[in-house]
Amino acid sequence: MVKVILNQNLQKKKWPFYKKKLKKILRIGLLGALNGIRIRKWFKNDNIGETNIQDIESICKNRGIPFEITSTLNSQRTIDIVKNCAPDLGLSLGNSYISSKVFSIPRYGMLNIHGEVLPDFQNAQSVIWQIFEGRSETGYTIHKIDKNIDTGDIIMQEKFPIVVKKDLPDTVKFNCSLIIQRAADGLVKVLSDYNYYLQHSYKQGKGKSYTTPTFRQYLRIKQQFKKLSALTRNAG
């Protein structure tokens, strides 16, 4: 049975939530937090026109696919909906941390698409940390979900050059669009022959996790972007 579940992420903000946010601000600094809010729009789907992303509920309605809405990701309602599906395989797109109470229900577990190369860029926003590290490639990884974030067995991975645009925001937006499109094609391949990809899956090595950049890290990203732009111009 195929079913789509939309998580509205409407949980009430409680002390653990604010405590986590406060710890993050202390770690990246106030300037980093404010800059993080500013650059957040670079990664929003509604700014990525090239993908032509349609409303998921409308797609389900047009194709006769059952559609459910749940207010919180790891709630009992979500658990009950997934159990009632008795799924062979689950797929997570754009969600935060998923509890084992959810991802362990499907017969073959759940998959996630991470918009970067694993294990080098765990929990990382696409493109900016590749640029920070002085690399010229980005990519995506389809992996199994486990109890940690972006650490599950790798099912499929693709790398490709970062397409440099006129400035850093346009470069991030364009390559995020590219990642979404290529990851969608990769997911179709995986689902078309899942047993093959599952048999050829492999565990991740030691990884590195990222978060919102500090203001100093952001300045380095801008500096590294200038170098990448120069290299691209010279190569052209």
Which CATH number characterizes residue 177's domain?
3.40.50.170
Domains identified in the chain, total number: 1
Give me the pLDDT at residue 66, please.
Answer: 95
Give me the pLDDT at residue 47, please.
Answer: 47
Contact residues for 154 (Cβ-Cβ < 8 A; gap 6+): 118, 141, 142, 143, 201, 202, 203, 204
Q: Are 116 and 138 in contact (CB under 8 A)?
A: yes
Where in the chain does DSSP place strands (E)? 4-7, 67-70, 90-92, 110-114, 137-144, 154-161
Q: pTM of the prediction?
A: 0.91
Other C-beta atoms closer than 10 Å to the C-beta of 45 total 12
Burial (CB count <10 Å: 0-12, 13-18, 19+), residue 96: exposed
What long-range pairs does 160-166 form, CB within 8 A, spacing at least 24? 161/136, 161/137, 162/127, 162/130, 162/131, 162/135, 162/136, 162/137, 162/138, 162/228, 164/228, 164/229, 164/232
Provide the domain limits for residue 45. Answer: 4-235
Give me the pLDDT at residue 45, please.
Answer: 59
Give me the pLDDT at residue 48, please.
Answer: 47
Q: Judging by DSSP bridges, how do beta strands 110-114 and 137-144 pair with one another?
A: antiparallel
Secondary structure (3-state) at 121: coil
- Determine the Cα–Cα distance for residues 78 and 95; give it in Å rounded to an integer: 13
User: Tens of pLDDT along the chain (236 residues)?
Assistant: 789 999 988 866 677 778 888 999 999 999 999 999 999 999 875 544 455 677 889 999 999 999 999 999 999 999 999 999 999 999 999 898 999 999 999 999 999 999 999 999 999 999 999 999 999 999 999 999 999 999 999 999 999 999 999 999 999 999 999 999 999 999 999 999 999 999 999 999 999 999 999 999 999 999 999 999 999 888 76
Q: How far, in whole angstroms, is CA 25 from its chain's centroid?
A: 22
